[in-house]
Protein backbone atom coordinates (compact mmCIF):
# COMPACT_ATOMS: atom_id res chain seq x y z
CA UNK A 1 0.00 0.00 0.00
CA UNK A 2 2.85 2.39 0.84
CA UNK A 3 4.44 1.72 -2.55
CA UNK A 4 1.20 2.70 -4.28
CA UNK A 5 1.04 6.02 -2.38
CA UNK A 6 4.66 6.83 -3.31
CA UNK A 7 3.91 5.92 -6.92
CA UNK A 8 0.90 8.27 -7.07
CA UNK A 9 2.79 11.12 -5.38
CA UNK A 10 5.79 10.60 -7.70
CA UNK A 11 3.56 10.55 -10.76
CA UNK A 12 1.81 13.77 -9.67
CA UNK A 13 5.13 15.50 -8.96
CA UNK A 14 6.50 14.39 -12.33
CA UNK A 15 3.45 15.72 -14.19
CA UNK A 16 3.73 19.04 -12.34
CA UNK A 17 7.44 19.30 -13.18
CA UNK A 18 6.82 18.62 -16.90
CA UNK A 19 4.01 21.21 -16.98
CA UNK A 20 6.18 23.78 -15.23
CA UNK A 21 9.13 23.23 -17.64
CA UNK A 22 6.85 23.47 -20.66
CA UNK A 23 5.32 26.70 -19.38
CA UNK A 24 8.76 28.18 -18.61
CA UNK A 25 10.20 27.28 -22.01
CA UNK A 26 7.19 28.80 -23.75
CA UNK A 27 7.63 32.07 -21.79
CA UNK A 28 11.36 32.13 -22.59
CA UNK A 29 10.75 31.67 -26.32
CA UNK A 30 8.18 34.49 -26.31
CA UNK A 31 10.67 36.84 -24.65
CA UNK A 32 13.44 35.86 -27.10
CA UNK A 33 11.21 36.37 -30.15
CA UNK A 34 10.24 39.83 -28.93
CA UNK A 35 13.90 40.73 -28.44
CA UNK A 36 14.81 39.52 -31.94
CA UNK A 37 11.90 41.11 -33.80
CA UNK A 38 12.84 43.62 -36.52
CA UNK A 39 10.58 46.25 -34.98
CA UNK A 40 12.66 46.27 -31.82
CA UNK A 41 16.00 46.22 -33.62
CA UNK A 42 16.79 49.43 -35.43
CA UNK A 43 20.12 48.09 -36.67
CA UNK A 44 18.45 45.11 -38.32
CA UNK A 45 15.86 47.20 -40.14
CA UNK A 46 18.59 49.58 -41.30
CA UNK A 47 20.51 46.60 -42.67
CA UNK A 48 17.49 45.41 -44.60
CA UNK A 49 16.95 48.89 -46.00
CA UNK A 50 20.58 49.00 -47.19
CA UNK A 51 20.24 45.61 -48.89
CA UNK A 52 17.03 46.68 -50.63
CA UNK A 53 18.64 49.94 -51.72
CA UNK A 54 21.66 48.14 -53.17
CA UNK A 55 19.38 45.74 -55.05
CA UNK A 56 17.44 48.66 -56.51
CA UNK A 57 20.71 50.34 -57.51
CA UNK A 58 21.95 47.16 -59.21
CA UNK A 59 18.65 46.80 -61.04
CA UNK A 60 18.73 50.42 -62.26
CA UNK A 61 22.33 49.97 -63.40
CA UNK A 62 21.41 46.81 -65.33
CA UNK A 63 18.51 48.58 -67.04
CA UNK A 64 20.82 51.47 -67.99
CA UNK A 65 23.27 49.00 -69.52
CA UNK A 66 20.44 47.56 -71.60
CA UNK A 67 19.53 51.05 -72.81
CA UNK A 68 23.19 51.68 -73.73
CA UNK A 69 23.03 48.66 -76.06
CA UNK A 70 20.90 50.84 -78.32
CA UNK A 71 23.88 53.15 -78.88
CA UNK A 72 25.36 50.48 -81.17
CA UNK A 73 22.21 48.71 -82.43
CA UNK A 74 18.74 49.76 -83.49
CA UNK A 75 17.23 46.46 -82.33
CA UNK A 76 18.23 44.12 -79.52
CA UNK A 77 17.02 40.72 -78.38
CA UNK A 78 16.66 39.11 -75.00
CA UNK A 79 19.83 37.13 -75.72
CA UNK A 80 21.83 40.31 -76.35
CA UNK A 81 20.87 41.68 -72.95
CA UNK A 82 21.37 38.31 -71.28
CA UNK A 83 24.94 38.06 -72.58
CA UNK A 84 25.71 41.64 -71.58
CA UNK A 85 24.47 41.27 -68.00
CA UNK A 86 25.30 37.58 -67.42
CA UNK A 87 21.94 36.93 -65.78
CA UNK A 88 19.10 34.51 -66.43
CA UNK A 89 16.60 34.73 -69.26
CA UNK A 90 13.79 35.42 -66.78
CA UNK A 91 15.68 38.31 -65.17
CA UNK A 92 16.36 39.97 -68.53
CA UNK A 93 12.74 39.46 -69.53
CA UNK A 94 11.64 41.24 -66.36
CA UNK A 95 14.05 44.13 -67.03
CA UNK A 96 12.88 44.46 -70.63
CA UNK A 97 9.22 44.38 -69.57
CA UNK A 98 9.88 47.12 -67.02
CA UNK A 99 11.69 49.26 -69.58
CA UNK A 100 8.75 48.79 -71.93
CA UNK A 101 6.25 49.75 -69.22
CA UNK A 102 8.35 52.81 -68.38
CA UNK A 103 8.13 53.86 -72.03
CA UNK A 104 11.83 53.53 -72.90
CA UNK A 105 11.57 50.65 -75.41
CA UNK A 106 9.03 48.99 -77.70
CA UNK A 107 8.64 45.24 -78.17
CA UNK A 108 8.40 43.98 -81.73
CA UNK A 109 6.76 40.55 -81.91
CA UNK A 110 4.61 38.75 -79.40
CA UNK A 111 6.77 35.98 -77.96
CA UNK A 112 9.60 33.58 -78.66
CA UNK A 113 12.75 33.93 -80.73
CA UNK A 114 11.29 36.53 -83.05
CA UNK A 115 10.91 39.16 -80.32
CA UNK A 116 13.10 42.22 -80.68
CA UNK A 117 13.17 45.54 -78.90
CA UNK A 118 13.71 49.02 -80.25
CA UNK A 119 14.31 52.23 -78.36
CA UNK A 120 11.57 54.81 -78.37
CA UNK A 121 12.56 58.26 -79.58
CA UNK A 122 12.39 60.99 -77.00
CA 43, 45, 50, 51 dihedral sign is positive
Cβ–Cβ < 8 Å for 107, 78: no
Domains of the chain, by residue range, sit at 37-119
Q: How many angstroms separate the CA atoms of 28 and 13, rounded?
A: 22
Cβ–Cβ < 8 Å for 99, 68: no
pLDDT one-digit tens code per residue, 57-85: 999 999 999 999 988 889 999 999 999 99
pTM for the model: 0.61
pLDDT one-digit tens code per residue, 28-62: 666 565 555 555 566 778 889 888 998 999 999 99
CATH for the stretch 37-119: 1.10.10.10
Amino acid sequence: MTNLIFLIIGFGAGCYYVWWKFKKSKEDSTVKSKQNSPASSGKESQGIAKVNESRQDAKAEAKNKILKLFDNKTEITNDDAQKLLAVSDATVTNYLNELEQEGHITQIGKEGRGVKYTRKNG
